[in-house]
Amino acid sequence: MGEGSDRPLTVIIGDRKTRERRAGRRRALDQSEQITCWRCENDTGIATSMAVRVILAPRRTPLGRLVPGTESWICAYCLTRGNITSLSRY
């Protein structure tokens, strides 16, 4: 892993110029955008993008079938630190 690469590692020092675009951001409305965690970016300075899908308030019908409740995406790194940060739009 990485033995054949002759490029040096890039050091990110956090002094991005304002005219430079941020990584993962879309440049047009028809492009996809990488979702990042705002709490991780505020707390640690790193905009993480690992998410876990959770189901809030699942239900069981009288017939015994499981019915999902509200689905949400939460940040996995915040979850390991004891916080719950929703990455969903709503």
Q: Tell me the pLDDT tens digit for each residue of 1-30.
A: 455 556 665 555 556 555 555 555 666 677
Taking the C-alpha atoms of residue 57 and residue 8, their distance in angstroms, rounded to an integer, is 48
What are the tens digits of pLDDT across the range 21-57?
A: 555 566 667 777 778 888 888 888 888 888 898 888 8
Residue 18 burial class via C-beta count within 10 angstroms: exposed 0-12, middle 13-18, buried 19 and up:
exposed
Residues 47 and 37: beta-carbon distance below 8 Å: yes
Strands (DSSP E) contained in the chain are 51-56, 59-60, 66-67, 70-75
